Every structure is written in C-alpha cells, then in structure tokens.
Amino acid sequence: MKEIKITDQDTDQSFTFYDNSNGTILRSFDGFEYPEVLSSIEDVAGIGGAHYVNSKFGRRRMSFQGDLVGTDKFLQRRDLLSVLRQRGTMKLFEVTTYDDLLLRFEAEIIRLTMPYTHQIHSFLFELQSPDWRLFSQTEESEEVTVNDSDIITNNGTELTDVIFTITGPGTSIDIQNLETGESFSIDDLIADDEVIVDTLNRTVTKNGDDSYSIFTGDFFGLQPGDNTIGFDVSGSTGATSLTLTYRHAYNGI
C-alpha cells in the first residue's frame, strides 16, 4: 500500500500512514488480497437441487503492520491513539494501492499491538470488516432515461449494492436489470414524491417514511461489468427520474 488513512467518523479525526514517508513505514499486509468468508449451501424452494453460495454474509479479516520513526514519533503515536480512542467501533479505512487503485471499507479494530518504546514504534493492526468487499472511494451517481434503458458499469469484480432514487409522478413504475432478469415495481407516485430503495439494507422509504408495502420484486444490485437498466413508467412527466448511486466493488487487490 502507498497509503492507509483511518478516520473516526464520530469525531472526523483521521490519521494517515504513508509508505516510507512522513515518519511512517507500511509493510506486511494480510487479507487485502483475498477475503476469508462464510460459505453456505442453499436449497431454494421450487428449484431442483441446491447451490453453493460463497461470500454470503462473510466477514473479512485484515491486518497490516509498520513503524513510526523520526523525531515526531511520540506526537504521531498520540495523534493515532486519539483517532482509535474507542476500540470496538467501526472506523473508515481509505487505502491507495501500489497501482493507484483508491479503495475504502469500514472495519472494527479487533487488536492493536503497539508497545511503548524509546526507539522506533512498531505497530500491528488486526481488523474485521462486516463486508467481504472493498469499495471504490468515489461514489458514482447515474441517471436512467424514462421509458428507455441505459448501461451502468460496475468496474469492480463483485456484485455491488445500489441506492435507487425514484421521483414521481408516474404509474406502473418498473425497473429492471436486463442482464440478470431481476426487477422491481413501485406503486403510483404523484408529483414530488421521492422513493429511495436501498438494496444493501433492504429498505424502502417514500418521502422519508418507511414504505415497504409499495415495493414488489427483487432488491438487485449491479453485477461486475455492464448492466443494462430499464426504467418503464406510465404517466410520466419531465420531472420523473431514476438515479442509481453505488460504488465499484472488489473482492481483493
């Protein structure tokens, strides 16, 4: 890694490790290349036989180590510990790989080994992320044309979740991923109605209120590569819109 930035999202404090720069050295990364995940067998009703599911509800364990060096190492240590003030809470990690891929993930610090010494301060972080995927730092936002279809590309290597934002008016609202055959429908919307479908958390809100009853179908995401998303609406106007918000997802670097 060229760089690893840790942010406490409650206080917005952060600490950045650089590879052999600004008094920090990074080395010995583990778990970034491939996730250790929970595997399971599913037997789906109405389908003959069972299928093997990998990386379902899987957690990802990672670790990295390095050193704090230089005249400011004690100040750096205290700055770092202030960011890590509460063990067991989720921290945001933003990393830059050696080939300049910008990734992010949330993880709990399950162990920090950092003995107090007079010399170089060596450290070892052990992390556990509730999601096996690594995500792009940039959040993408794409609009789909009403009563047409558009190609939305997931440049990663894993299925990524999507937040669909639908603005009325419209009746008979259908949204499909034509590559996978998955789809969902939303009940009639009047002008200025806004529905948000979060496929990661499997929630549906209408104008800020929980409205799962207006949703029928699949909580689908974007497969790696191109996804053709269709947006079919009756009774639409120029105000009717569909926006997809997502991050590219990777299983490793």
CA distance 44 to 62: 32
| pLDDT given for residue 89 in this prediction | 81
Q: Is 214 helix (H, G, I), strand (E, B) or coil?
A: helix
Q: Tokens for 53, please give them.
A: 């599911």
Candidates 104, 224, 223, 98; CA nearest to 156 is: 224
| pLDDT given for residue 55 in this prediction | 47
Beta strand 90-96 with 51-53 is unpaired
Mean per-residue pLDDT pooled into runs of 10, the chain (253 residues): 94 93 91 74 61 60 93 89 83 96 95 89 93 95 96 96 97 95 95 96 95 95 97 94 98 91
Candidates 59, 54, 66; CA nearest to 27 is: 66
| pLDDT given for residue 247 in this prediction | 98
| pLDDT given for residue 47 in this prediction | 61
Beta strand 182-186 with 90-96 is unpaired
| pLDDT given for residue 153 in this prediction | 97
Beta strand 13-18 with 24-30 is unpaired
Q: What is the pTM of this model?
A: 0.87
Cα radius of gyration (the chain): 22
Place of tokens 């600490």: 15
**Total residue count of the chain as it appears in this document:** 253
- Residues in CB range of 134: below 8 A, 6 or more apart: 32, 103, 104, 105, 249, 250, 251, 252, 253
How are the residues of the chain apportioned to helix, strand and coil, as percentages rounded to the nearest 5? 5, 50, 40
Which amino acid type is present at position 107? A
Q: For 212, list phi and psi in degrees, rounded to 5.
A: -60, -25
CA distance 187 to 49: 35
In the chain, what is the greatest distance between 2 CA atoms, to the nearest angstrom? 72
CA distance 129 to 170: 40
CA distance 52 to 49: 10
CA distance 44 to 58: 20
Is there a cis peptide before residue 130, judged by omega within 30 degrees of 0?
Answer: no
